[in-house]
Structure 1
Amino acid sequence: MGFIEGRLIRRSERCGSTRFIKRHKGDTLLVQIYVDDIIFGSTKKELCIEFEKLIKDKFQMSSMGELTFFLKLQVQQRKDGIFINQDKYVAEILSKFNYTDVKSASTPVDLEKPLVKDGDAQDVDVHLYRSMIGSLMYLTTSRPDIMFAVCACARFQVTPKTSHLLVVKRIFRYLKGKPTLGLWYSRNSPFELVAYTDSDYARATQDRKSTTRGCQFLGNRLISWQCKKQTVVATSTTEAEYVAAASCCGQVLWIQNQLLDYGYNFMNTMIHIDNNNTICIIENPVQHSKIKYIEIRHHFIRDCNAKRLIQMIKIDTEHNVTELLTKGFDAGRFQYLVSSIGMLNPYMPNSLWFCTVV
């Protein structure tokens, strides 16, 4: 689909061959193709109408109207912004696993019951456990509030125990109490790319590896987030933070390239981190003993900093919203972090209390 009826739509190489862009007198038409479904939008309504007519003339297709539902993602388009959630999918998986009548929980993780290998505990049904994890993993598309808990439980899919199943059940109980939470993308939010990165240190009890976490925002709109266990055991907190910062930098560079297709240049993006030693290593090009054990592939972040593609900013740990993706918290701290990343309940007017991260 490189052209239609002589009207050029440029393919975005950064997204493979599934996204196409057309610019016309300052307006932009975006077309995203997924298998046999097409999503398109424009800064000018007339371009959407023209494209819809054109595609219907060339192919046997039907229009579903304004985007409200796609791959179990619910999209509510309002005058003041867009809200994305999956409450219908939450109701579906609660019913599937018989959790519609359970007592709800205020957080997805019980701080008094840490997740460990627990080799002496009784085995559980592997197929049931994996099915529950798979359902929850798909839900993390719009629910970063459960991402840490789900990723932690996913590490025990080979030989799940009763203690692991209890943690998974806790996540379902949390969803029972907060089924409609989703991401709010305000129309009036500042339009600037900012990122946050952090890491725990050797928190994985079974292999002592650290967890990388990162969040990327456009203003106060959360557009990307990561929670992933690092591939090697870090020898210090600084090394774990440095590897996490490099991972976040790679994601920022990818987003920068994506935004170039929309005509936005976000060079010198701020990446917030709460570790001074990591900032010093990134800004100091001299090789020294503190970094000689860090794999070379992570050092590209120093080159990005020197070229002003990014800049590292020190913030206090209490303001680092990526903590939500690495460990459990009490209800008060957890609720603060959830609101800070822009999650809300659309059916409760008083829930529009999310704050701008600083």
Structure 2
Amino acid sequence: MGFHQSKADPSLFINGNGMNFLAILVYVDDIFVSSPSISLIRELKTYLDDTFKIKDLSNHGYFLGIEAHMTSTCLNLCQHKFALDILIEAGFLDSKPVSTPMVSGHRLDKDGGEAVTDVASYRRLIVHLLYLTATRPEISFAVQQLSQFVDSPTNGHMSSTHRVLRYIKATPGQGIFYPQNGDMQLNVFSDSDWATCSTTRKSITSFCVFLDSALISWRSKKQATVSRSSSEAEYRALAAVVCEVQWLNYLLKDLQVELSRPTAVFCDNKSVVAIAENSVFHETTKHIEIDCHIIREKLTQGLVKLLSISSSNQVADGFTKALPTAQFHLFLSKLGIQDLHAPAYRGYWSMQHVEKLTKLRGSGVK
């Protein structure tokens, strides 16, 4: 039918342009189709059914465990049923809920108490929680920390995992909010926490990418090497961000989205911005791997624009550490998280929250 495979994502197949654009996303035997034209979708489904005998699930409502709730103004993605299934399997459906996934300032290490006898149950919980981060970015840091100990978990690690489950119990229907209209431009927040691992002294890379005010990509991951300074750790995190922005540019281009200006990358470390923009700082960066200097190359090409931001406005901060309750709730509001299954929020998020999120544009987060 004339489709070609996307070079950015081998699971994506695209065809046509404008009102005749068709996109197919394939995961094993599950297929998701999108197009501005409903007649093209029907034609494609007829062709696939004649060839493979498909089962048509109609409009997007439930796909690979992710629930989609769409209105004329917004889209919400959550994993309400999957979250409840995790709680039921772990026996935490009647547990006492908590307001944050981790205790503020709490650090996990390898020596966290006695070894867990049922290691398989710990690993199974971590696998479930990893998949839950597809729509629950706020638990990414907690899950990243806990996933380091799947080889030999202790009762302390299990206790921290149970706290994450109690947090999920408080908000099982929480998910990501996407407003329908917005400026098709990328805004990125990059952060790092230096040498926080007590065992390896490696740092945490974190970032979150917004398409206007809609969160589309995020990461909380331990760096592969040890950094000699906080600036070096931030610089490595920034290199990961630039690579992600380059990939997103390729992917958006395949989806017929053209970005008209460089991506704004916000960093709260002024020395890192100076290092990226000025090669005079060679003496302090000559030991850093060459691939990290992709930042300077992409700056020259106009792909990204580095902007300094205060630490209090750094959205990615919640991906590097466990925050106090008040800061954590502020972190949630900046990410664009909502709970459709909480009646008190249904009228609030559709108006008040959209207004807050649109302020991400420009020089920082309000």
Assess same fold via TM > 0.5: yes
Aligned residue number for residue 338 of structure 1: 332
| 2:50 aligned counterpart, secondary structure | helix
- Structure 2: segments with no counterpart, 5+ residues: none
2:291 is equivalent to residue 297 of structure 1: yes
Deviations 1:206-246 (A, max 9, x none): 21110000111101100000111001111001000000000
2:66 is equivalent to residue 73 of structure 1: yes
Aligned residue number for residue 280 of structure 2: 286
Matches within 5 A, 1:318-333: 318-333=312-327
Question: Bigger relative contact order, structure 1 or 2, given CA contacts below 8 A and separation 6+?
Answer: 2
2:139 is equivalent to residue 146 of structure 1: yes
CA contact (8 A) 1:196 1:273 kept: yes
- Structure 1: segments with no counterpart, 5+ residues: none
Matches within 5 A, 1:71-220: 71-111=64-104, 113-118=106-111, 121-124=113-116, 125-220=118-213
Letter in 2 for 1:277: S
| 1:13 aligned counterpart, secondary structure | coil
Letter in 1 for 2:271: N
Letter in 2 for 1:123: A
Letter in 2 for 1:285: S
Letter in 2 for 1:122: E
Number of positions where the alignment pairs a residue of Structure 1 with one of Structure 2? 350
Residue 117 of structure 1: how far off its partner (Å): 2.4
The 1:24–1:269 alpha-carbon spacing in structure 2 relative to 1, beyond 3 Å, is closer
Alignment partners' CA distance in 2, 1:64 and 1:264: 27
Letter in 2 for 1:166: S
| Aligned sequence identity (%) | 32
Aligned residue number for residue 236 of structure 2: 243
Alignment partners' CA distance in 1, 2:4 and 2:25: 12
Letter in 1 for 2:294: F
Alignment partners' CA distance in 1, 2:245 and 2:20: 26
CA contact (8 A) 1:191 1:219 kept: yes
Q: By percentage of residues, which structure has more helix?
A: 2
| 1:20 aligned counterpart, secondary structure | strand
Aligned residue number for residue 45 of structure 1: 38
Q: TM-score, normalised by structure 2?
A: 0.92
Letter in 2 for 1:103: K
Deviations 1:106-165 (A, max 9, x none): 10001264322226x211121111111111111111111111001101111222111111
CA contact (8 A) 1:345 1:351 kept: no
CA contact (8 A) 2:105 2:322 kept: no
Alignment partners' CA distance in 2, 1:73 and 1:140: 11
Letter in 1 for 2:280: V
Alignment partners' CA distance in 2, 1:265 and 1:25: 12
Aligned residue number for residue 349 of structure 1: 346
The 1:154–1:259 alpha-carbon spacing in structure 2 relative to 1, beyond 3 Å, is same
Deviations 1:81-127 (A, max 9, x none): 211000100100100010011100110001264322226x2111211
Alignment partners' CA distance in 2, 1:321 and 1:287: 27
The 1:69–1:25 alpha-carbon spacing in structure 2 relative to 1, beyond 3 Å, is closer
Of the structure 1 ranges 244-253 and 285-294, higher mean CA displacement relative to structure 2 is found in 285-294
RMSD of the TM alignment (CA)? 1.5
Alignment partners' CA distance in 1, 2:5 and 2:158: 45
Letter in 1 for 2:330: Y
| 1:245 aligned counterpart, secondary structure | helix
| 1:265 aligned counterpart, secondary structure | coil
Letter in 2 for 1:338: L
2:273 is equivalent to residue 273 of structure 1: no
CA contact (8 A) 1:344 1:351 kept: no
CA contact (8 A) 2:105 2:321 kept: no
2:25 is equivalent to residue 61 of structure 1: no
Letter in 2 for 1:330: P
| 1:205 aligned counterpart, secondary structure | coil
CA contact (8 A) 1:181 1:344 kept: yes
Residue 24 of structure 1: how far off its partner (Å): 5.2
| 2:279 aligned counterpart, secondary structure | coil
The 1:151–1:24 alpha-carbon spacing in structure 2 relative to 1, beyond 3 Å, is closer
Residue 192 of structure 1: how far off its partner (Å): 1.1
The 1:336–1:71 alpha-carbon spacing in structure 2 relative to 1, beyond 3 Å, is same
The 1:351–1:137 alpha-carbon spacing in structure 2 relative to 1, beyond 3 Å, is farther
Alignment partners' CA distance in 2, 1:193 and 1:161: 41
